[in-house]
Chain A
Amino acid sequence: MAIRPRPGKEAVEAKGWLRANKWLILRRLSQFGILGLFLLGPLAGVWIVKGNLAYSYTLDFLPLSDPHILLQSVLAGVEPHKDAIIGVVIVTVFYMLIGGRVFCSWVCPVNLVTDLACCTRRMLGIRTSTQLSRNARYWLLGVTLLLPLVTGTIVWEMFNPVSMAFRGLLFGLGLAWVILLGIFLFDIFVSKEGWCGRLCPVGAFYSLLGRKSLVRVVATDRDKCDDCMDCFEVCPEEQVIRPALKGADKGLSPVILSSQCTNCGRCIDVCAEDVFHFGLRSHKQSDKGVEAVKTGAEKLDDAA
């Protein structure tokens, strides 16, 4: 098996290391920054943010709550308090506008684990095929919402690696690291992007939340694409790229419309030709008839 050069190599040569890693660096800053803000309290006694990703209180006035968890608790028959409702409205509106799965790539702590797994997998040259559908997560999401209805307790939160990891770092990890290690190994040896891309119901929830989000990655200069495949190589949801990048012949919009896109921006980084940029959903190509085919692209996206 020919070992491919590390994706992004050309981009580094063309754009310099910093620009070829810009969004990755910003993303890590965001992930660690958020974690750091939460950790300032317990470690240094500086209480800017209290709580964790499930619900937090910032500077003693800003409540933020996780809509997936709060929804489960409502389904279990709970009436949340005013603060929790304000918090959930803020968070929901934010992710609806910015892109639901921005949570996955810019906030979620498990992303660090799965990115590392992906990296390791690539370095070890492991290629396994998997039966696991990319839609399994939506089913699992359904299960997480059905369970509180049936049992009256928030069952998923007993297993949720996302909240467990973040909470663990702030309040004590216990054996949660075993679950994280499990995900790491699963992603390396069993299924490529197995957790985030196929199973995680939290990601599925945010993907549905951000279906109509405004901020999207746009293949603005798709005619410059030299088919190096680096973006497909690094994208955790590679199926989302094709319609936008290669859909010019079919008249598809250059906007990556799939809600499965996490807006991580890694495709922008690794592209030596600068094909991709962050843009708006309403991005208009100078091509004619983009508006007319956009609906078609969305349909295609829905089918995916």
Chain B
Amino acid sequence: MKDSDKEKGKTVNRRQFIGNVLKTACGMGLLGLGLGMYARQASSLPPMAVRPPGALPEEEFLGSCIRCGLCVRDCPYDILKLGQLGDDGVVPGTPYFTARTGPCEMCEDIPCIPVCPTNALDHGLTDITKARMGLAVVVDQETCIAFLGLRCEVCFNVCPIRGEAITLDYQHNTRSGKHALFIPVVHSEACTGCGLCEKACILEEAAIKVFPTHLAKGELGKHYRLGWKEKEKAGGSLVAPDIEHKYNLPEGVRYDLQGKGLIIDSSGSQEVPVSSNPLDTLNSNPLDTLNQGLEKQ
């Protein structure tokens, strides 16, 4: 009797135990799922937040950065901030800067990197010009005053990789008809995404902005081949060269596609007026009518 009671108590306990364990496991599983899913959703970086130089690609960065804030402390220009919960949309505790208010000054010794204990900021980066924090984009041609025909070039002039990351493209000002436009053009092979141009842009809202590279860059389809580049690589045309087009024209007549149009090789023979009336259309050369306006080009 006593034994069976004990036995009974034991089985109930075991059942309870397993039940409790399952309950807890399920609860924790759900909690984990919730945390994981929220984390996934919350871990996208807002476009105006730029990671410090050398930051790994965002997903790896969030696995490596232990949120210690040493990069923030060792930035001599104090531009870095740590994300705060619910404040800026940046994952709490991870470092970022805002180009418009405080761009990266591109220190040559990059002091923020060597203090990083987990390589979230890649210690392999020793040349700041190789940093790719983002990419500057001239986002608004309607307000950028260079496009309006005014001289500005501030972004071009403040760029630390002057003349390479941003160049000026001279274009004809069709509005005035006689001036040039000095259009800033960003080159992704040199731009570090430091944001000095965005900071310097004279507009109320910058017309040049630093975006994460994947947002700023397009990408050609992998199957695309640029004919002229392939030609250069191969050292010659890869297809049979075009045969010169032959026009089926009467003898003594040629056709110049990009020039004069129809050309009659006059063998010196003076044309005799058909009609005695000088105003008769039969007297005029029909080619003059056909080629009208072409001579002017």
> Which residue numbers of A lie inside 8 Å of B, CB to CB?
41, 47, 50-52, 54-57, 63, 65-66, 69-70, 73, 76-81, 83-84, 87, 133, 135-136, 139-140, 142-143, 146-148, 150-159, 163-164, 167-168, 170-176, 178-179
Contact = CB atoms under 8 A, between A and B. Distances in A.
A172 B69 contact: no
A150 B119 CA distance: 21
B180 interface: no
Nearest to B115: A57
A154 B63 contact: yes
Among B35, B91, B120, the most chain A Cβ lie within 10 Å of the Cβ of: B35
A158 B63 contact: no
B43 interface: yes
Interface of B: 20, 24-25, 27-28, 31-32, 35-36, 38-40, 42-43, 59-60, 62-70, 72-74, 81-88, 91-93, 115-120, 123
Given A147-B36, A167-B93, A176-B92, A55 B87 contact: no
B223 to A, nearest CB: 31
B117 A65 contact: yes
6 contacts: A54-B66, A77-B63, A140-B31, A158-B92, A164-B93, A171-B93
A171 B81 contact: yes
A148 B31 CA distance: 14
A57 B117 CA distance: 10
A154 B36 CA distance: 10
A153 B39 contact: yes
Among A83, A151, A158, A172, the most chain B Cβ lie within 10 Å of the Cβ of: A158
Contact of B64 (A73, A87, A172, A175): A73
Contacts of A154: 62-63, 65-67
A181 to B, nearest CB: 12
Nearest to B86: A175
A162 B72 CA distance: 20
Nearest to B70: A51
A76 B64 contact: yes
A173 B92 CA distance: 10
A128 B142 CA distance: 65
B63 A171 contact: no
Q: Which 10 A-B pairs have the closest CB atoms?
A: A174-B84, A175-B86, A76-B63, A55-B68, A84-B117, A174-B87, A153-B62, A143-B32, A155-B39, A174-B85
B84 A55 contact: no
B35 A159 contact: yes
B117 A80 contact: yes
A248 B27 CA distance: 39
Given A174-B84, A176-B85, A163 B35 contact: no
A168 B63 contact: no
A20 B107 CA distance: 55
A139 B26 CA distance: 11
Given A51-B70, A157-B93, A87 B117 contact: yes
A154 B92 CA distance: 11
Contact of A151 (B36, B72, B116): B36
Nearest to B29: A143
A294 to B, nearest CB: 27
Nearest to B20: A133
A4 to B, nearest CB: 32
Among A50, A51, A81, the most chain B Cβ lie within 10 Å of the Cβ of: A51
B42 A55 contact: no
Given A73-B64, A171-B72, A147 B92 contact: no
A175 B84 contact: yes
A56 B31 CA distance: 30
A41 B73 contact: yes
A80 B82 CA distance: 20
B36 to A, nearest CB: 5
